[in-house]
Structure 1
Amino acid sequence: MHKCEDALLSEPVWAIGLMTGTALDGFVDTALIRTDGVSVAEFGPFELFAYSDTDRALLAEAITQARAWAFEGPEPEIFAEAEALITRIYADAVLKLLDKTKMRREDIAYTGGHGLTVLHRPQIGSGGRTRQLLDGAKLAAQTGIDSVWDFRSNDVAMGGQGAPLAPIYHTALLRHAKLDGQTAILNLGGVANITWWDGQDALAAFDTGPANGPINEWIEAHGKGTFDPDGMYAARGRVHEGRLLEILDNPWFDAPFPKSLDRYDFDAGLVRGLSLEDGAATLTALVAASLDLALRLLPQRPKQLVVAGGGRKNPVLMDQIAQRCAVSLLDADAIGLRGDAIEAECFALLAVRSARGLPLSFPCTTGVKEPTTGGVVTRLG
């Protein structure tokens, strides 16, 4: 546990955040907020803009080739095509959001684009690598708005894990909702991550384990769509507790934080040989069981979790978490937050922080030695 400090800033500005998750759910999350980089002065509209199955297939292939590449030798040629695609998808989403809100380009100070993580190999101290696909310079040119992008690379270069980056925004939300150390924020995306804040100046945050990613992969491998709707297949299956214990025996789960995961560090192969239903049930239980181990690492075990991300819409997953972790769960929407928008909102705030030279990561979040700035800023002049 470390202390993280922030300074108050000047006048808030409007920023658009864009996020493409590693779960490849077929949407780019887009959110508009007015912020000074520390707190949220105003929540603007947010939208989930779909991209095509053809586009999704290309992005999935880029991730597959990235895993084979493993940062050895030249980048796969598909990266250029996939990066151009992500940039176009983001630009289209920005322009659609502006059209829907009737805002002008000149009203927006920055876009903050996360891009698509195709490979993440963190290592505390040195030697880590991370790669997100997005051409922020072209995004700025295509939207007419200054852009901030490549948020993780500088942290990794400075010896940090490069993830998670959401904690500084999660802390702003906990402060906004007047919540303290009894409550933590859990995000269920491709990977799960948690942020705990004591209500004063102590912060702890890290990836807790797999979340939607392996479940989605398992369902898709069986030709049943791209996710488990309402946990339907998991509900029909049986959790193989022996297999679950074997997975949890991986020393990563007991390792102290800070720590982070690549989406494919734990994949659907973990339940190879099980039926569709039993595999879905076991992967769903894994999310909850690994979270229970993670909660034991926190300075104070929270009594409730505010849950954001797509996983909160899976009732079987939520039931597993409630039972295995013995915590009460609050849908982020139920306390006035926006569970589908939080990650995109985060990168809007981080864009403003980056443009103003404020740190994005801390010893208590990524393991970097000192508070570290990040993000590449492209200004149109």
Structure 2
Amino acid sequence: MNPAKYYIGIMSGTSADGVDLALVDFSNHEVSLIDHHYQAYHDELAHDITSLYSTGDNEIERMGALSVELALFFSQAVNQLLTNNHLTSSDIIAIGNHGQTIRHRPPQADKQYPFTLQIACHQTLACLTGIRTIGDFRTKDIALGGQGAPLVPAFHRYLFAKQQQDVFIANLGGIANITFLPQDRDQAVIGFDTGPANALLDLWCLKHTGNRVDNNGDWAAQGQVSNALLDDLLSDPYFALAPPKSTGREYFTYQWLEQYLSHYDISAVDVQATLSALTAQSLSMAIKQLSPKSFVYLCGGGIHNKHCYKQIKQYLSEHSVQTINTLNLNNNAFEAMAFAWLAFAYDKKIYGNIPTVTGAQCETILGVAFNP
């Protein structure tokens, strides 16, 4: 009988539209994506997730039930991925399960007890799939004084170990984040959340068009950017914070946007155009502060927003801006691959955090293992 050789990574982002799974082979010191599977959330499940992003009634009861429901949903997705590849649970070394973030409260001056919370019960997932599951990757970094995010830069460093120029990996999810991999190996790897991306764009689009996403950014492209509103939004203290820093949908909320909009009389489509510019400019400003000229690879669901992608390329005219697909890496699987790698790193005793990214006191192995 051949030994198990694959890892599965599971990632559900703040956009809460579905879950991505990556089947990955890390043998022979390579990172090989074998397959990717996506399973969309139905509207009720997506609503149940996003309703926990802010305080509300009966939260503990709803959270506990949803955590088990998500584990069941993830297990069904795992089984489908195995079926698609004619594999069984015995072929899998471990699952790296990020879970679904519902609260992220990293260390700040006004936070006496920082914490982070991801649901999708790891123990339930292990028992339902019969596969050892490794999860809870963020908590230890926070316990060591770090932000607990972003975690993917360690995977990016592993993947781009031989790069010969300054490289940025820029992820456009619900929140945008970057990893800076300097050509000079004596320079520190840096990574942080730059600000909102799909989270605000999708919220505004749903409210004013009934569509969950602005397809290709076509609606934003019809509007005019309000430079006054854009400058006002960029004046938020978060953008001026020096890294390490991280944020989430619980900060860049609809209420956050409304407090700025109350001073303006702007059409809905012009607000969408301005939010697109906010994503592009806050990301681009962060990149230009770190490197005047570099290779920038965009990933995440936001790369399908052609209008925002065009704006980023305009703001970063001195940089080479491409999507991660140009490196023969599957954009849809890329973040899930990172959590497969974090499970692999746990097993191989590889440090999963980077203190210059998260602000933790030291490097450490991340995760907790749950046996079926």
Distance 1:142 1:62 in 2: 24
> Which of 302, 315, 323 does residue 311 from structure 1 map onto?
302
> Which residue is equivalent to 1:328?
320
Structure 1 segment 129-208 matched on structure 2, within 5 A: 129-175=115-161, 178-199=162-183, 200=185, 202-208=188-194
> Which residue is equivalent to 2:211?
225
Distance 1:172 1:187 in 2: 17
Distance 2:4 2:182 in 1: 26
Structure 1 segment 277-292 matched on structure 2, within 5 A: 277-292=269-284
Distance 2:182 2:5 in 1: 28
Does 2:51 align with 1:61?
A: yes
Check the 8 A contact 2:53/2:250 in 1, yes or no.
no
Check the 8 A contact 1:215/1:280 in 2, yes or no.
yes
Distance 1:45 1:287 in 2: 30
Distance 2:344 2:178 in 1: 23
Question: How many angstroms does 1:228 deviate by?
Answer: 0.6
Amino acid aligned to 1:79: M
Does 2:111 align with 1:119?
A: no
Does 2:22 align with 1:31?
A: yes
Check the 8 A contact 1:127/1:159 in 2, yes or no.
no
Gaps of 5+ in 1: 1-10
Amino acid aligned to 1:280: Q
Higher mean C-alpha displacement, 369-378 vs 92-101? 369-378
- Structure-2 change in CA distance of 1:174 and 1:310 (3 Å): same
Distance 2:30 2:271 in 1: 41
Distance 2:136 2:36 in 1: 22
Check the 8 A contact 1:174/1:180 in 2, yes or no.
no
Higher mean C-alpha displacement, 44-53 vs 300-309? 300-309
> Which residue is equivalent to 1:44?
34
1:176-218 per-position Cα deviation (integer Å, ceiling 9, x unaligned):
xx53443211111011111111243631111111111110111
1:98-120 per-position Cα deviation (integer Å, ceiling 9, x unaligned):
00011121110010111111111
Structure 1 segment 350-365 matched on structure 2, within 5 A: 350-365=342-357
Higher mean C-alpha displacement, 224-233 vs 274-283? 274-283
Task: Kindly report the root-mean-square deviation, in angstroms, between the aligned alpha carbons of the 2 structures.
Answer: 2.2
Question: How many angstroms does 1:363 deviate by?
Answer: 1.3
Distance 1:115 1:55 in 2: 14
> Which residue is equivalent to 1:16?
8
Question: How many angstroms does 1:372 deviate by?
Answer: 2.2
Does 2:285 align with 1:293?
A: yes
Distance 2:30 2:230 in 1: 40
> Which of 227, 230, 246 does residue 260 from structure 1 map onto?
246
Structure 1 segment 339-354 matched on structure 2, within 5 A: 339-354=331-346
> Which residue is equivalent to 2:64?
80
Distance 1:138 1:302 in 2: 47
Question: How many angstroms does 1:351 deviate by?
Answer: 1.0
Question: How many angstroms does 1:275 deviate by?
Answer: 2.5
> Which residue is equivalent to 2:229?
243
Question: How many angstroms does 1:238 deviate by?
Answer: 1.0
Does 2:359 align with 1:367?
A: yes
Question: What SS is found at the alignment partner of 2:160?
Answer: helix
> Which residue is equivalent to 1:213?
199
Amino acid aligned to 2:180: W
> Which of 305, 329, 332 does residue 337 from structure 1 map onto?
329
User: Given the two structures, how large is their TM-score scaled by the length of structure 2?
Assistant: 0.90
- Structure-2 change in CA distance of 1:111 and 1:249 (3 Å): same
Distance 1:212 1:267 in 2: 12
Question: How many angstroms does 1:149 deviate by?
Answer: 1.0
- Structure-2 change in CA distance of 1:39 and 1:130 (3 Å): farther
User: Given the two structures, how large is their TM-score scaled by the length of structure 1?
Assistant: 0.88
Does 2:83 align with 1:95?
A: no
- Structure-2 change in CA distance of 1:220 and 1:39 (3 Å): farther
1:313-367 per-position Cα deviation (integer Å, ceiling 9, x unaligned):
1110001111123233211112211111111000000012123433211211100
Distance 1:173 1:359 in 2: 14
Distance 1:12 1:330 in 2: 36
> Which residue is equivalent to 1:6?
none
Amino acid aligned to 1:304: F
Distance 1:86 1:21 in 2: 13
> Which residue is equivalent to 1:379?
371
Amino acid aligned to 1:211: A
Question: How many angstroms does 1:302 deviate by?
Answer: 4.2
